[in-house]
Structure 1
Amino acid sequence: MSPYVIALDVGGTGMKAALIGPAPEHRPLYEARRGTPREAGPDAVVAAVLDFAAELRAYGVAHLGAEPVAAGVCLPGIIDEAAGVAVFAANLGWRDVPLRDQLRARLNAPHPDGAPTGTPDDAPTATGAGIPVVLSHDVRTGGLAEGRIGAGKGVDRFLFVPLGTGIAGAIGIDGRVEPGAHGGAGEIGHIVVRPDGPPCGCGQRGCLETLCSAAAVGRDWAAACGDPTATAADAAAAVAAGDPRAEAVWQAAVDALADGLLTGLTLLDPRTLIIGGGLAEAGETLFAPLRRAVRERVTFQRLPTIVPAALGDAAGCLGAGLLAWDRHSAEVSSR
């Protein structure tokens, strides 16, 4: 019988999950993936998340001999972590979804085959005792994992910035990630760096993520090369091959990114800057010009170490598992 937690990372196109064992290794004991049926509407996505969580619980009971001790779920968008509510997630179509309570109810329901449970028969469920559930923002959760077991391990202050479809940030301080007073800390992707730039979904123009996210680089390279299917990875390959059109697109993105990061460095003074997401997979094609551009911009600021993320697309899932273990430990200590 091995203690474990459910870890679930819900994205706009796919969901990654694992059953994570205890410290110190926090080893994944089982891993699975599912598609996110967002084309079927927001209610279908909620149902898919609940069903996936229930499948994970059933697997753990059948193969690990016990109920999970907690569950952690990370989501995109704006999350009210204290209330357990997905306030807004544009790519999932969610507004004010009380997902924590829905997950609690599903995970604490009687097991359909009568298998043994990890809580007493008379334990209250849904909103009381039983399997606790914690929700968090996907980038902050990924930052937590990078800080504890990834590129930021042992670093007292770091800024984690994944460059994917969008851009956000996680502020790491002494082993935790700062959520902010209203759950919005780290939204570096919505710093305006080019006031006359492209419109952003947030209502502003020239936000960082409209200029140097993987989606933005792919868009600009597609326009420059005339291939509407071109991606940021294609742009990176063209840069490595010495294509001057790609070099111009890439440098514009790097310059915008360095301008945005300089604001982050000035406000937060991190010791390490961790860059992740799809664009970071370009390796030194990104990191060499980025380090140079940031170095050219700093004046009084201390230049941080700039490193690639270590955990790849597993960071969110691993971070969700760490949050679940944290919640379990806190509940055990409070008894």
Structure 2
Amino acid sequence: MTIQKAESAVLAFDVGGTDTKAGLVLPASRGEIPEILDIERFPTALDAENPGDVLVEFLAGLVDRYAAAHPAYRLDAFGVSVPGLVDEARGLGIYAANLGWHDYPFKARLENRLGRPVAFGHDVAVAGDAEVALGAGQGAQNEMILVVGTGIAAALYVDGRRLQAGGYAGEVGHAMAPAPGGGLNIMEATGSAGAIARRYAEAVPGFSGGAREVLHLSQRGDLMAQQIWADAIAALAFSIAQTVAMIGITKVVIGGGLAEAGAALFEPLAEQVDRLLTFQPRPLLVKATLGQNAGLIGSALKAQSLIASQIQGNDRRAAGSATAAELKPAL
């Protein structure tokens, strides 16, 4: 999937639990990473009673703001990604614990409100699509785009196509994994950046840093920090090895805040994945390259595909009308 050259730009939104990122994504040629103008963050509109309707009106207001600020660009479509469980085929936000909606028809409501096509998707899934099309995910038919931040989620690709499963594919952070000290826990309770910081703060009262600070402490010999970091690596390695065994992935693209740890993450993670696998090929572990803009780019990819499909449909209808006119008998 690539963004094709076109006269119109795409306004893309990456909705988060705290902030919503917006940017005007310009057309790009095949294989080019598109330029994004006027990237801004806005506090996400929240409402416990009508979370979906309030978000739709909030996004409509941002559309008006960007249209007024950039009159030179025609906006023929919009891209919107949201967190939680998302059914892209039906355009539904199935569930978002921190934002409050249940089975909300985002695509239909947004298109009705904005009067133009809207590409609607899951935040990690569309970021995965961008990495596969233009970033570190290129060249693999079977891969995992793994985003490790406050939580953990993934986009999974088998034979070149992303698994969707009605919105339930890729929730690897909520899959069970061995827990420190025995038993089982959801994987992100140990392997996420948020879990690393939380567990260290529970062990060392007064600590207020994040996963990066825990890593620095571990590198300076702090035994508690070393154990918590090792536990996170073990949880991630278990999840990756299980995914290799189940769907045969050959590449893992890791993004999110934890990927910034570089060799401190990738080297021990590769070693543990190797130990957990038997006859399976070892997956290549690489860092995501599109960074924090992957979600905006992925949403733009989907929106440009809508524009292209609409143009093709219009061309087919025009060709059909011309053929019908030619075949019409003279009176």
What TM-score range do you get, normalising by the shorter chain?
0.7 to 0.9
Higher-Rg member (1/2): 2
Evaluate the alpha carbon distance shift between residue 59 and residue 196 of structure 1 in structure 2; reply closer, same or farther with a 3 A threshold. closer
- One-letter amino acid of the counterpart of residue 113, structure 2: R
Q: How much has 1:161 moved relative to structure 2? A: 0.8
SS in 2 for 1:18: strand
Contact 1:86 1:95 (8 Å CA) reproduced = yes
- Aligned match of 1:167: 152
- Aligned match of 2:139: 154
Evaluate the alpha carbon distance shift between residue 86 and residue 275 of structure 1 in structure 2; reply closer, same or farther with a 3 A threshold. same
Q: Larger deviation: 21-30 or 60-69?
A: 60-69
Q: Larger deviation: 237-246 or 212-221?
A: 237-246
Q: Say whether 1:132 aligns with 2:111.
A: no
Q: How much has 1:184 moved relative to structure 2? A: 1.2
SS in 1 for 2:298: helix
- Aligned match of 1:224: 203
Q: Tell me the distance in 1 between the aligned counterparts of 2:93 and 2:155.
A: 18
- Aligned match of 1:118: none
Q: Tell me the distance in 2 between the aligned counterparts of 1:289 and 1:11.
A: 31
- Aligned match of 1:215: 194
- Aligned match of 2:173: 189
Q: Say whether 1:78 aligns with 2:80.
A: no
Q: Tell me the distance in 1 between the aligned counterparts of 2:292 and 2:50.
A: 25
Contact 1:19 1:56 (8 Å CA) reproduced = no
Q: For residues 237-285 of structure 1, what are the alpha-carbon distances to aligned partners after superposition, in whole Å with 9 as ceiling and x for unaligned?
A: 2123232211111101111211111111111212210111111121212
Match of 2:112 among 105, 111, 116: 105
Evaluate the alpha carbon distance shift between residue 55 and residue 256 of structure 1 in structure 2; reply closer, same or farther with a 3 A threshold. closer
SS in 1 for 2:176: coil
- Aligned match of 2:127: 142
Q: How much has 1:231 moved relative to structure 2? A: 2.0
Q: Tell me the distance in 2 between the aligned counterparts of 1:183 and 1:41.
A: 23
Evaluate the alpha carbon distance shift between residue 318 and residue 53 of structure 1 in structure 2; reply closer, same or farther with a 3 A threshold. farther
Q: How much has 1:321 moved relative to structure 2? A: 0.9
- Aligned match of 1:59: 66
TM-score, with structure 1 as normaliser: 0.84
Match of 1:17 among 12, 19, 22: 22
Q: Say whether 1:206 aligns with 2:211.
A: no
SS in 1 for 2:218: helix
- One-letter amino acid of the counterpart of residue 86, structure 1: G
Contact 1:20 1:30 (8 Å CA) reproduced = no
Evaluate the alpha carbon distance shift between residue 299 and residue 42 of structure 1 in structure 2; reply closer, same or farther with a 3 A threshold. farther
Q: For residues 12-44 of structure 1, what are the alpha-carbon distances to aligned partners after superposition, in whole Å with 9 as ceiling and x for unaligned?
A: 111111111223143213322101244x53636
Give unpaired runs (5+ residues) of structure 2: 1-5, 315-331
- One-letter amino acid of the counterpart of residue 189, structure 1: G
Q: Say whether 1:177 aligns with 2:184.
A: no
SS in 1 for 2:178: coil
Match of 2:38 among 30, 42, 50: 30
Evaluate the alpha carbon distance shift between residue 267 and residue 318 of structure 1 in structure 2; reply closer, same or farther with a 3 A threshold. same
Give unpaired runs (5+ residues) of structure 1: 109-130, 200-204
Contact 2:180 2:231 (8 Å CA) reproduced = no
Q: For residues 30-81 of structure 1, what are the alpha-carbon distances to aligned partners after superposition, in whole Å with 9 as ceiling and x for unaligned?
A: 322101244x536367435533344335533652435312111111111122
Q: How many residues align?
A: 306
TM-score, with structure 2 as normaliser: 0.85
Evaluate the alpha carbon distance shift between residue 250 and residue 158 of structure 1 in structure 2; reply closer, same or farther with a 3 A threshold. same
Q: How much has 1:137 moved relative to structure 2? A: 0.9
User: What is the aligned-residue identity percentage?
Assistant: 37
Q: How much has 1:135 moved relative to structure 2? A: 1.1
Contact 2:45 2:58 (8 Å CA) reproduced = no
Q: Tell me the distance in 2 between the aligned counterparts of 1:29 and 1:148.
A: 20
Q: Tell me the distance in 2 between the aligned counterparts of 1:198 and 1:133.
A: 46
Q: How much has 1:228 moved relative to structure 2? A: 4.8
Q: Larger deviation: 230-239 or 159-168?
A: 230-239
- One-letter amino acid of the counterpart of residue 209, structure 1: E
